[in-house]
Amino acid sequence: MNKMTATRTLGTGEAALEVSAIGYGCMGLDSAWGTPMPTADAITLLRDAHERGVTFFDTAEAYGQGSNEEIVGAALETIRDEVVIATKFGFAGGRPLDGTDSRPERIREVADEALRRLRTDRIDLFYQHRVDPNVPIEDVAGTVRELIAEGKVRHFGMSEAGVDAIRRAHAVQPVTALQSEYSLWWREPEQEIIPLLDELGIGLVPYSPLGKGFLTGTITADTGFGAGDARGNPALFPRFAEENRRVNQALVDLIRGFASALNASPAQVALAWILAKSTTCVPIPGTTKLHRLEENLAAATLKVPADVLDELDAAAAAVQIAGDRYHPMMQRLINR
């Protein structure tokens, strides 16, 4: 069994947080992408991830309205001091479709519920899941600052936030990390967000670094998605409509060509590209399969020459991607 040993640091100064170079996105264990894993199997997989070097685990109240946190808590309780657990607040009742709710009293309620479900006395990284237009970001950051002072939270994070919100929040309570979608098929953060994070010393935690599985090369235009898999609903994720998958296959074919030359998998190349972008960038791919987990973690040691990375970067940027990332209603929750 190969063990990933590489680590990275999110944030700077008192906001600095050391984590494994590749983290684990836990959402798919019981949410969004189909039939939930049996709880016992999910717990085993999380422990397998830790044994293979993962110390950074990402969950949220909104994943199963707390059920995902319960799985994480059960899996990591006995190794709590060896791992970093991130969770999130910010949706009304933990349900994204019900809109945002980052009122200070709600943040405190979510924190206490998360501590109970995670079987811990502190949350290592507490993200605002989406910016709430009805609550000043200064009040949000101030509430998390109080939770840090009380010892319930160690670090403050934001997710899919815009430049203004990040600046204003960071002025109240230093932001350790911004979690946003970022991959070879979603590069918008390069325009304004990543330069700001570099300026302020904030780490980037890309979710869906493999394009919700599309960049692995295992999904084609003919793929059928099972019951409960949100990718099968093109209204939610237009990029996964059959006609768009057919067009977007060009990007996967490009990555596969580079992977073949490097004796690697497309997933490993996609992750290695992200890791090479910045030493403060920590992707959190998710999987329900042990062999995929091992494949992903091997990306941390994949050696890709700088000129090859530059060639991949330029070639991928030239590929036209079909379909919006999200349904317009979901998109409205982003970059406020």
Catalytic residue positions, numbered: 63
33 contacts 229 by C-beta, under 8 angstroms: yes
Laid out side by side, the sheet with 203-207 consists of 24-25, 56-58, 84-89, 123-128, 153-159, 175-181, 203-207
Q: How far apart are CA 31 and CA 230, in angstroms?
A: 9
Structure tokens at 69: 């946190």
Which among 67, 150, 70, 66 is positioned nearest to 108, based on CA atoms? 150
Looking only at Cα atoms, what is the longest distance across the chain? 54
Strands 153-159 and 175-181: parallel
Q: Give the number of other CB atoms < 10 A from CB of residue 260.
A: 12
Q: DSSP letters along 42-87, please?
A: HHHHHHHHHHTT--EEE--TTTGGGHHHHHHHHHHGGGGGG-EEEE
The rounded Cα 331 to chain-centroid distance in angstroms is: 17
Name the burial class of residue 328, with classes exposed (0-12), middle (13-18) and buried (19+) by CB atoms within 10 angstroms of its CB.
exposed
The vertex-94 CA angle with 93 and 97, nearest 5°, equals: 90
**Who's near 117: CB < 8 A, 6+ residues apart?**
66, 69, 70, 73
Residue 332's alpha-carbon distances to 100, 157, 237, in angstroms, are 11, 20, 14
CA 268 from chain center: how many Å? Answer: 16
Cα–Cα dist 242/256, whole Å: 20
